[in-house]
Amino acid sequence: MTSTATTIPHAAPPYSGPRAFVQRLRHGDEIAHLITLTFAAGILLITSLLVWELWRTSYLSRTKFGWHFFWTQTWDPIFDNFGALPFIYGTLVTSVVALIIAVPLGLASAIFLSELAPRKISDAVSFLIDLLAAVPSVIYGLLGIFVVVPLMRSWLGPLLINTLGKLPGIGKLFAGPNYGVGFFTAGIVLAIMVVPFIISVSREVLLTVPREQREAALALGATRWESTWKVVVPWARTGIMGSIFLALARALGETMAVTMVIGNDPKISASLLRPGYTIAAVIANEFTEATGDLYLSALIELGLVLFLMTFILNGLARILIVATERGGGRPA
C-alpha cells in the first residue's frame, strides 16, 4: 500500500535525543538560529570579559586599599598612596551642576516642543536637537577651551563671585579666585552635551500623555500652563526622571570635554570656580604614564568605580522610561 501521507517540508521526524539534534541541524533554520545565537552570546561574552578584566587588573589596588579607597583624598604617585574621593567628588559635582542647568532648560524645551509648537515645527526643531546630540565630545571640548573658558574668566566668573558669591551659605560655592577653568565651567559644557537627551526623551514621554488629561484640566478652567505643569508633566513624571538619569549617566562618563576645561587638580573644594578632577579625566591624563603597577591598578579601579556608577544609573533610567512608555504613566 502506497503511503499517501506527504511529509511536510522541514518538519522534524520524531527522533529524540542527539539524533534529533543532528536531524534538526540539517535544517537551515536551526543553523541560522545557532549562528545568530552565537553572535548574541558573543555580546554576553565580551561584556563579561570587560567586567572580568577590570576586576582582575585592579587587583593590586583593591587589595592594598580596600574600602579606604573610597574616602581617601590623597593621590600621591610618589608614595604610592591613592584615593578615589577627589575624583568621585569631581565627577558627581560636575554632573550635578550640569543637571541643574540642563534639566530646567531641557524640560522647558520639551514642554514647548510637545505642547505648544505646531507639529511640523516641533518635528523640525527636535530633528535639529537630535543633531546636537551627535556632535562629538572633543568638539565640545574645543569650544569649551576657546569660548566657555574665556567667557567664564572675563565676565561670568566675576559676575557669579560678585552676586551669588556675596550671599551667605551659598556664597561659598562661588568664592574666587577666578580661574576660568573649574567645576562650574565643566558643568556648563556638560549641560550643553546632555540637554538633547533630556529634551528628546521627555518630549516623547510628554507626547504619550493622553489628550483627555489636558482637556479635562482645561475644561476645569486651568490656563494652558497650569494644565501642562500641574497635570501633564506629573503624569509623565517617571519618564522624565528616566531621562534625567540617562543624562546623568552620560555626564558621569564624559571624558574629553571635561578634561579640557576642568583644570586637572585632584582637590575637593567648596567653591565651584576652583579646578577639580573627574574619574574619566584622570584616567585619560595619567593612564599611559602610570609608572608602577599599583598606580596603574589604582587608575583601573577608578574605571571600575565609574563603570558601576553608570551601570546603576543606566539601569534605573531604563526601568523608569520603559515603565512610563508601557504603563502610560500614572501620577506616582
Partner 1 sequence: MKKTSIVVSILLALAIAVAAQPGTILLNAAGATFPYPIYSKWFDVYHQKDPNVQINYQSIGSGGGIRQLLAGTVDFGASDGPMSDDQLKEAKFKILHFPTVLGAVIPIYNVSGVSGELNFTQKALAGIYLGTITKWNDPEIAKANSGVNLPASDIVVVHRADGSGTSYIFTDFLSKVSDDWKNKVGKGTSVQWPVGLGGKGNEGVSGLVKQTPGSVGYVELIYAVQNGITFGKVQNASGKFVKADLAGVTAAAAAAAKEMPDDFRVSITNQSGPTVYPISSFTWLLIPAQISDATKRDAIKGFLKWMLTDGQGYNEGLAYARLPKPVIEKEMKAIALIQ
Partner 2 sequence: MNRALLIWRKSLNVVMLTLTGVAALSVVSVLFLILGYLIWHGGASLSWSFFTQLPKPVGETGGGMANAIVGSLKLLSLAALIGLPIGLMAGVYLAEFGGQTFSFVIRYTTDLLNGVPSIVIGIFAYSIVVLPVKHFSTLAGGFALGMMVIPITVRSTEEFLRAIPGTLREGAMALGASKWKTIATVVLPAASGGILTGMLLALARVAGETAPLLFTAFSNRYWSPGWAQPIASLPVMIYTYAIAPYDDWHRQAWAAGLVLLALVLLANLGCRLALNRGGNVRSV
Interaction site with partner 1 (CB under 8 A) = 74-78, 149-150, 153, 176-177, 179-181, 263-265, 275, 277, 285-286, 288-292, 296
Q: 61 and 301 in contact (C-beta within 8 Å)?
A: yes
DSSP-based three-state secondary structure for 82: strand
Residue whose CB is less far from partner 2, 161 or 309: 309
**What, of partner 1, partner 2, none, does residue 46 touch, CB below 5 to 8 Å by kind?**
partner 2
Q: Which is nearer to partner 1, 245 or 277 (CB)?
A: 277
> Which of the listed partners (partner 2, partner 1, none) does 138 bind, with a CB threshold of 5 to 8 Å by partner kind?
partner 2
Distance in Å, CB of 63 to partner 1, minimum? 19
Match 569650544 to its residue by C-alpha cell.
Answer: 143
Element (H, E) at 303: helix 293-327
Is residue 22 within a helix (H) or strand (E), and if so which, with residue range? Answer: helix 18-25
Instruction: Round to whole Å and give the CA distance between 274 and 256.
Output: 19
End-to-end CA distance of the chain: 71
Choose from partner 1, partner 2, none: what does 318 bind? Cβ within 5-8 Å by kind: partner 2
**Cβ contacts of 311-320, under 8 Å, gap ≥ 24:** 313/245, 313/246, 313/248, 313/249, 313/252, 314/245, 314/246, 314/249, 316/242, 316/245, 317/242, 317/243, 317/245, 317/246, 317/249, 318/242, 319/242, 320/238, 320/239, 320/241, 320/242, 320/245
CA–CA gap between residue 112 and residue 275 (Å, rounded): 36
Question: For partner 1, which is the closer residue by CB, 228 or 297?
Answer: 297
Taking CB within 5 to 8 Å according to partner kind, which of partner 1, partner 2, none is near residue 106? partner 2
Of 165 and 187, CB closest to partner 2: 187
Residue 1 Cβ, how far from partner 2 at the closest point, in Å?
Answer: 28
Smaller CB distance to partner 1: residue 106 or 266?
266
Cα distance between residue 274 and residue 75, in whole Å:
18
Q: Could you tell which of partner 1, partner 2, none binds residue 76, using a CB distance below 5 to 8 A set by kind?
A: partner 1
Alpha-carbon distance of 16 to 7, in angstroms, equals: 18
Q: Please state the closest distance from residue 293 (CB atom) to partner 1, in A.
A: 8
Q: Least distance to partner 1 from the beta carbon of 163, Å?
A: 19
Q: Which is nearer to partner 1, 109 or 259 (CB)?
A: 259
Nearer to partner 2, 11 or 78 (CB): 11
Q: Which does 306 bind (CB under 5 to 8 A by kind): partner 1, partner 2, none?
A: partner 2
Closest approach, Cβ 83 to partner 1, in A, equals 11
Give one word for 322, left, alpha or beta, with left for phi > 0 and alpha for psi -120 to 50: alpha
Q: What's the min distance (Å) between Cβ of 329 and partner 2?
A: 18
